[in-house]
Amino acid sequence: MLWPGTVIGLGAGFAIANIPGALLGALLGQAADRRLQLHSWTELFDRLRGKPQLRDDQVLFVLLGRLAKCDGRVVESHIQQAREEMRSLRLNEAQCRSAIAAFNRGKDGRDRLQHHLQRLGQQPNSAEGVLRACWRMAWADGSVSREERQLVVQWGKWLGWTSVQVQGLSSDYEPLRKPLANSGGAYQEAMRLLGVTATTEAAQVKRAYRRLLSRHHPDKLAGTGATPLQVREATERTRELHSAYALIRERRDFR
């Protein structure tokens, strides 16, 4: 693919000095493309309009913002999940501001992300971390839409993963598909898991859920030397918490 600067340099060089000028212009244009990280005409037009360049360290939160907005509106659980990602990455105050700006930028869905993700795909561990964060955001509201799933699968392909591999990660964050018949027993068990009662205010239920999720999430075990059994147990516990919170939220009709 010919990048914008390369095409412009080639055309200008040919106009000035025919074929030798075209070759020199193409080389200079290619160098400009690389220096300015221009991969498409859209990026060039955005730059000319004064839109800030998307940095690689902002890509994750742009992806999360796009997922959050995918179904039309961002809900509180999406915002809380973004904050949880910032905490897990141990971002400082300035980095948090940058992440929030990137999250808001992602909501308009206009950034071209393919080349950023293809570069990131050369770092397997980073690529997996991005995909896991995307699934966490997609499941933050308790369900994943077809559009959200398509986005994550497409991003995974740009990262060098197959569709099967990408979707295989989703199950780590999917709430248990137990029959949550609104029986009193299931509801009581859900409250017990979260440590709340039938009179606990919705905001307190949410805080209890987020606190337990942060404590038991399998990602907390990364780099700790945890055994596969411990990871599976943490994953199962996380699913139970997702399921319990979904039932309480459904029964009490709050977001």
pLDDT score for 24: 66
Q: Which CATH class is domain 184-252?
A: mainly alpha
Amino acid (one-letter) located at 208 = A
SS3 content of the chain, % helix, strand, coil (to 5): 70, 0, 30
pLDDT score for 140: 86
pLDDT score for 227: 73
**Rounded Cα–Cα distance for residues 177 and 16 (Å):** 67
Take residue 51 and report the two structure tokens written for it: 């839109």
Q: From 166, 162, 175, select the one nearest 237 (Cα to Cα).
A: 175
Residue-level pLDDT, tens digit, the chain, 255 residues: 456 556 565 566 556 766 766 666 556 656 654 665 555 555 555 555 555 565 777 899 999 999 999 988 898 889 988 998 898 888 999 999 999 999 999 998 888 888 888 888 888 778 888 999 999 999 888 788 999 999 999 999 999 999 888 988 887 787 654 444 445 578 888 888 888 888 888 899 999 888 888 887 777 777 677 777 777 778 888 888 888 888 888 888 876
Do 248 and 191 meet the contact criterion of CB atoms below 8 Å apart?
yes
pLDDT score for 110: 80
pLDDT score for 28: 62
What is the domain partition of the chain in residue ranges? 4-48, 56-170, 184-252
Take residue 26 and report the two structure tokens written for it: 């193409």
**Rounded Cα–Cα distance for residues 221 and 217 (Å):** 8
